[in-house]
Amino acid sequence: MSRRSLRFALAACLAFALSLAIAACGGGEKKQSTSGGEGGSTTVPAGKKGGTVTVLSAGDVDYMDPGQAFYTFSYQIVYSTQRALYFFSPEDSEKQVPDLADGPPQIADDQRSLTVKIKKGIKFSPPVDREVTSADVKYAMERAFSENVPNPYATGYFGNIVGAPDEPTKGVKEISGITTPDDQTLEFKLDQPTAGQLYAAMVMPITIPVPKEYASKFDAKSPSTYNEHVVSTGPYMVENDSSGALTGWKKGKSIKVVRNPNWDASTDFRPAYLDGFDVQEGNDDAAVASRRILQGQGLVQGDGAPPAQVLKQAIQQYKDQLVFSPSGGTRYIALNTTQKPFDDLNVRKAVLAGFDRNALRLTRGGAAIGDIAWSYLPPNFPGFAESGGPKAPAEFDYLQNPDGDMALAAEYMKKAGYPSGKYTGTEKLLTIATNADPGKKTAENAQAQFEKLGFKLNFRIVPQDTLYTKFCGVPKSDYAICPNVGFFKDFLDGQALLDPTFGGDAIIPANNVNWPLLDNAKVNDLIAKAKVIPPGPARNKAWAEVNLEITRQAPAIPFVWDKLPILFSKNVQMVADDYSNSPFMAFLSLK
């Protein structure tokens, strides 16, 4: 856009920042200590430089490409190797701080434009070896709208930028509402007064710079192969060769992360104490892996969480090697609403009525990990109280009993045309489960409960990353049930939890996170209206109504608003990242 005289309102900027402050995966509740235990100060301890740690993981990242990365475990790697415009210090996961940006944005009084300055002196890792410019951020955001770089949230969070496409484009197309008047300036023009929400979303990896002259040849392919040639801007990088190929990433096996020789510590808030870290994948026996971490040296947790029995042991015997990171989201079992029999609302209500959600929570550790959920906005979150608080309103009879109500389930089955009160179809429903506990136990418990209701399942067990990249994130894979999904906020606003996951417009061919494939006209209309309401009570109420309408559609079985346990070895000085609910690798150190 052309430069024009604007009266920038710092007070308005701060108000938006506070009301939409991103606490992604951190929750709105009081944070526990990042140095061990379950409560206390969030002060980050000083660390000792040097050494490496090993991350034990069951599966792999979904993508290294920041334009596609969206799996929680991927963020553990991405936010220690890359720099978005804004991010969070572990001392306060509800207030974003400038990262690539040189300060807070300038937001116009009408909330329809926003300007960000970026820092000088930040360089890409080899083989690009040059300083990052504003054009690199512009290209990064534009490529995320390309069908070659399937991104699950670009349209939802950034679709109000003037010129942003409504659907994935053939190749990378310029977005007219993003301009770069000089190498350190980004200007955004919006078609709605949503600058505060845009600022909040600027912690997302879509704002991590990508060098066009290097990446465009990879982005011309479908899908883009930049995923295997990513360059970094953070303190670390995945080991690569002279051409940029990621030699340190052995998919499904290991990731070797080393120092980025072009990183300038004076520009970064991350201390990067470690010389690097290694990810060891294939640890699908979570009990064995968790005990290795607790009893070993230099080990930390990767994807997943300790199984219930090990969590209990950790609470009792290793409390100084355990932290809880509040997720700020909901775990649920997704029902594909486009597939028979879940295209029938009464069948879905029967499932929710009959399911023992307490039993599902027990597979992950019971009450210690959080409250039983009934909807998709968690406690201490805007819209939670407006939705009804911790107990489901009376209209949701199918969610009143957390232990399940088989008699009510039978009533709904009869309404759906099954006189016996149980499902009598003969087809086997494709169910995709993770291969590692506690998720595996959750899925197995769910399998037994579905069968009790009369369903027959084609039950398949795969690594967690495969679950998303090959099945539950790909609508054409024809899954019926995804029992191991959950969504944790990208920023502290109802849009961050409800738009990408239940909005019909959010459904995309790959990297999709609307796992129930819900495309309901009333839900879609409520989302569209809520997105443009300014921050405050009216917006919170609007997103609460979205939450309630989604719950009326019964697209999934919500079972816990959880806190994620993180384990680490005795000689590791832990600092948790409440955004990705994982060890913050760029803050970790060895004692």
Residues 55, 52: Cα–Cα separation, whole Å? 10
Could you give the number of structural domains in the chain?
1
Secondary-structure percent of the chain, ordered helix, strand, coil, rounded to 5:
30, 20, 50
Longest dimension (CA), the chain: 71
Distance CA 580, CA 566 (A): 11
Residue 124, helix vs strand vs coil: coil
441 SS3 class: helix
Query: 231 by DSSP, 3-state: which?
Result: coil
CA of 479: how far to CAs of 280, 371, 428, 510, 553, in Å?
29, 28, 11, 14, 19
**pLDDT score, position 495:** 93
Q: Is 283 part of a structural domain of the chain?
A: no
C-beta atoms surrounding 296 within 10 Å:
15
Peptide bond into 223 cis (omega under 30): yes
Instruction: Report the SS3 class of residue 221.
Output: coil
Residue 144 near residue 67 (C-beta atoms within 8 A): yes
Measure the CA–CA gap between 206 and 511, rounded to whole angstroms. 14
Taking the C-alpha atoms of residue 455 and residue 448, their distance in angstroms, rounded to an integer, is 9
Whole-model pTM: value is 0.79
Give me the phi and psi of 460, to 5 degrees please: -120, 135
Spatial distance between the Cα atoms of 163 and 492, rounded to a whole number of angstroms: 26
Give the integer Cα–Cα distance in Å for 251 and 257. Answer: 14
Would 473 be classed as within a structural domain?
yes
Q: Identify the CA nearest to 236 among candidates 227, 246, 228, 226.
A: 246
* pLDDT at res. 42: 62
Q: Which residues contact residue 349 at a Cβ distance below 8 angstroms, ignoring those fewer than 6 apart?
A: 398, 412, 554
**pLDDT computed for residue 33 by the predictor:** 31
DSSP sequence for 471-512: IIT-GGG--SEEEEEEEE-SSSSHHHHHHHHH-GGG--SSS-
Q: Does the residue 313 lie in any domain?
A: no
Residue 89 within any structural domain of the chain: no
- Is residue 342 domain-resident? yes
Q: What is the pLDDT along the chain (591 residues), one digit of tens a residue?
A: 322 222 223 333 333 333 333 333 322 232 333 333 333 336 788 999 999 999 999 989 999 999 999 888 999 999 999 999 999 999 887 789 999 999 999 999 999 999 999 999 999 999 999 999 999 999 999 999 999 998 989 998 999 999 999 989 999 999 999 999 999 999 999 999 999 889 999 999 999 999 999 999 999 999 999 999 999 999 999 999 999 999 999 999 999 999 999 999 999 999 999 999 999 999 989 999 999 999 999 999 998 789 999 999 999 999 999 999 888 899 999 999 999 999 999 999 999 999 999 999 999 999 999 999 999 999 989 999 999 999 999 999 999 999 999 999 999 999 999 999 999 999 999 999 999 889 999 999 999 999 999 999 999 999 988 999 999 999 999 999 999 999 988 888 999 999 999 999 999 999 899 999 999 999 999 999 999 888 889 999 999 999 999 999 999 999 999 888 999 999 999 999 988 889 999 999 999
C-alpha distances (whole Å) from 499 to each of 131, 405, 493 are 35, 30, 10
Q: What is the pLDDT of residues 381-419, one digit of tens each?
A: 999 999 999 999 999 999 999 999 999 999 999 999 999
Closest CA to 212 of 124, 285, 102: 124
- Whole-angstrom distance, CA of residue 2 vs CA of residue 457: 58
CATH code where residue 396 lies: 3.10.105.10
- Are 487 and 329 in contact by the 8 Å Cβ rule? The answer is yes
Q: Confirm whether 176 is domain-assigned.
A: no
- The torsion angle over the Cα atoms of residues 61, 64, 66 and 72, rounded to 10 degrees, is 10
Structural domain harbouring 342: 329-564
Cβ–Cβ < 8 Å for 87, 203 = yes
Residue 527, domain member (yes or no): yes
46 C-beta neighbours (distance < 10 Å), count: 9
Closest to 187 in 3D by CA, of 145, 135, 120, 146 = 135
151 within 8 A of 206, measured Cβ to Cβ: yes
Q: Are 42 and 92 within 8 A, CB to CB?
A: yes
> Is 497 a member of any domain?
yes
Would you state the pLDDT for residue 560?
A: 97
Contact 1, 113 (CB under 8 A): yes
- Where does 20-133 have alpha helices with state H? 72-81
- 164: tokens are 């942003």
Classify 362 as helix, strand or coil.
helix
Q: Which residues of 52-68 are buried (b: 16+ CB within 10 A; e: fewer)?
A: ebbbbbbbbbbbbbbbb
Q: At 55, list the tokens.
A: 């991350």
